[in-house]
Structure 1
Amino acid sequence: MSQPTPPKDTALTPAFWSPAYPRIQIWRTLLGIITIHVIFFAVTIGVFFAGAAFLQTDVTQMLDVSPTRTAMIFVTFIGYHIGLWIVLRVLHKRGFRSLFGPARRVNWRHFRRGVLIALGVNLAAILVQMLQPFFLPTLPEASAAQSLPLITWAILVIPALILVFIQIFAEELVFRSYLLQQLRARFRSIWIWAILPSLIFGLLHFDPQTYGINAVFYVLHTTVIGIVLAVVTLRTGNIGAAAGLHFANNAMLIFSGTKGTLDGFSLFLSEMDLTSAHMGVSILSQTAVVLVAFLLWSRRAGHVQPIANTAQAD
């Protein structure tokens, strides 16, 4: 059976997904994503047991120490990088850097812009939350306190930023590079190359034990984020902007976090009921801010890479 080849217009003007050609068969993509996650879970188990052995303790006791628990969780994302490297080499016969698009490198200018935009969006979300008492008069007070000594936190900042960098690039390369390239090269429908993978991405964040009914709103939030990042990636033709947005958003946790989440590196922690209606409103308001920011950007941004104008692959 002959291998699929890129349409003529894609061959003449390389798009973000063009490195996926010619091995875009669905069976390869499905086997690839399964293999990546098998390797990820294997590495996760290895990291936790290796960490427990290094600290001369058992896994359960290690997880009781908040900075250590958070660090271990972030380190496990190395498994995604390893899984991607193996799958790309064995199943798709292409290099790891092809995940960055035809240029085979990250556009760091886009990354910096993504960081600045994410900081702006987070500031806007904070301002929106400050208005909540006007339409939620029974809003309970959220107590905030310093959770780490300043010197300890200062020592942890650089390692924490490195771990966040590893984590966000792992997720972006799996969902906004590998899956996006493979599916966009094969299908034209946004439902297949953006919405479906983003829904999977969102469902991976489903945590009813922590969030209760708000876990549904959190899945919605992360799904919307995934769709936005997929469209941003294709329109900029590089993973840089999406990675910058993701990095700045997650790096905020190093300064301020919510108790009960990934709070091990946070200088300040606030305590609030993650299952409350107020938390649900907070999540939905953040989602609304993201959508407004995306619509404003979309109206002003030039479409460097069209998102659905290339003929479907054979």
Structure 2
Amino acid sequence: MQIGLGYQKNWLSRFVAGFCIGAVMVGVMALIITCLTPVIFERSPTFRWSQCALYIPLFLFVALREELVFRTYILWRLKDKIGPILSLICVTVIFIAEHMMAGLSLKNSLIGSGLGALLFGIATLRTGNIALSAGLHFAWNSMHWMFGFKDNTGLCIEIVPKGSESSGEIVAYIAYSAVMLLGIITVILLFRPQKNG
């Protein structure tokens, strides 16, 4: 309980709520991109539903692994020592560094991983455990894949017309930042602060 891993009766409902919020966030991001750019999403001719049996458990595992590593012991021990804001900043910096070491560009690490770390960290600190953040993280990864944002390997293919790559990228970063901010506000408004111990 003291490091955000204790089982609570609302664990499953929070995980599901996180998944729903995360799925809506990805949908809103795709909507913003298609409204403001000529980018379109088409059904991938190579996608097979059987791929979900591999990718969906993989995205669940990745989300749980990252939440266990970054939003349990290290976050709560730092919170006890330096407070919630500084602990959130420290864990976010470590999260960004890990993604950079994994090969993500500086820009993608700062904006992508950084804003994600803030959302997941706030969700964990707000609720006292990782159920909500794990649901958010799992939804974000799996729905992002379904929309083709992960190298066009999901259900859809993201088609960017020639000549609009630069503007499409700028709008994608703006859309991403907007939905992450929306996610943070949603978590703050919907979930009352709770202790983890």
TM class, shorter-length: 0.7 to 0.9
Q: Given the superposition, is the C-alpha separation of residues 300 and 111 from structure 1 closer, same or farther in structure 2, using an over 3 Å criterion?
A: closer
Other structure's SS at 2:99 match: coil
How far apart are the structure 1 equivalents of 2:104 and 2:63? 22
Q: What is the one-letter code of the residue matched to 1:146? A: S
Q: What is the one-letter code of the residue matched to 2:5? A: F
Q: What is the one-letter code of the residue matched to 1:290? A: M
2:175 counterpart of 1:276: no
Query: What residue number does 1:298 align with?
Result: 188
2:98 counterpart of 1:232: no
Other structure's SS at 2:71 match: helix
The answer to whether the 8 Å contact 2:41/2:159 transfers is yes
2:62 counterpart of 1:164: no
Runs of 4+ in 1 over 6 A off after TM superposition: none
User: Percent identity over the alignment?
Assistant: 22
The answer to whether the 8 Å contact 1:114/1:244 transfers is yes
How far apart are the structure 2 equivalents of 1:179 and 1:217? 24
How far apart are the structure 1 equivalents of 2:42 and 2:77? 44
- Structure 1 stretches lacking a partner, 5+ long: 1-15, 20-98, 134-138, 307-314
Q: What is the one-letter code of the residue matched to 2:44? A: Q
How far apart are the structure 2 equivalents of 1:205 and 1:275? 24
What CA deviation, in whole Å up to 9, does each residue of 1:66-107 have, x standing for no partner?
Answer: xxxxxxxxxxxxxxxxxxxxxxxxxxxxxxxxx513x38991
Query: What residue number does 1:61 align with?
Result: none
Q: Given the superposition, is the C-alpha separation of residues 194 and 105 from structure 1 closer, same or farther in structure 2, using an over 3 Å criterion?
A: farther
Query: What residue number does 1:181 align with?
Result: 76
Q: Tell me which of the two structures has the higher relative contact order, counting C-alpha pairs closer than 8 angstroms and 6 or more residues apart.
A: 2
Q: Of 12, 16, 20, which aligns to 1:116?
A: 20
Other structure's SS at 1:205 match: helix
Aligned residues: 194
Q: Report how far residue 239 of structure 1 moved.
A: 0.7
Q: What is the one-letter code of the residue matched to 1:120? A: V
Q: What is the one-letter code of the residue matched to 1:299? A: L
Q: Report how far residue 131 of structure 1 moved.
A: 2.9
2:92 counterpart of 1:201: no
How far apart are the structure 1 equivalents of 2:10 and 2:97? 27
Other structure's SS at 2:83 match: coil
Query: What residue number does 2:44 align with?
Result: 146
Q: Given the superposition, is the C-alpha separation of residues 158 and 196 from structure 1 closer, same or farther in structure 2, using an over 3 Å criterion?
A: same
TM-score by length of 1: 0.53
How far apart are the structure 1 equivalents of 2:115 and 2:60? 21
TM-score by length of 2: 0.81
The answer to whether the 8 Å contact 2:63/2:134 transfers is yes
The answer to whether the 8 Å contact 2:33/2:175 transfers is yes
The answer to whether the 8 Å contact 1:157/1:254 transfers is no
How far apart are the structure 1 equivalents of 2:109 and 2:30? 17
Q: Report how far residue 253 of structure 1 moved.
A: 3.9
RMSD across aligned C-alpha pairs, in angstroms?
Answer: 3.2
How far apart are the structure 2 equivalents of 1:276 and 1:170? 33
How far apart are the structure 2 equivalents of 1:233 and 1:180? 9
What CA deviation, in whole Å up to 9, does each residue of 1:169-204 have, x standing for no partner?
Answer: 01110011132122123221512x111211221233
Q: What is the one-letter code of the residue matched to 1:268? A: C
Q: Given the superposition, is the C-alpha separation of residues 254 and 225 from structure 1 closer, same or farther in structure 2, using an over 3 Å criterion?
A: closer
Q: Report how far residue 270 of structure 1 moved.
A: 2.1
Q: Report how far residue 108 of structure 1 moved.
A: 1.3
Q: Report how far residue 223 of structure 1 moved.
A: 0.9
What CA deviation, in whole Å up to 9, does each residue of 1:140-196 have, x standing for no partner?
Answer: x557451425xxx222212321111111101110011132122123221512x1112
> What pairs with 1:88-103 in structure 2 (closer than 5 Å)?
100-101=5-6, 103=7
The answer to whether the 8 Å contact 2:126/2:188 transfers is no
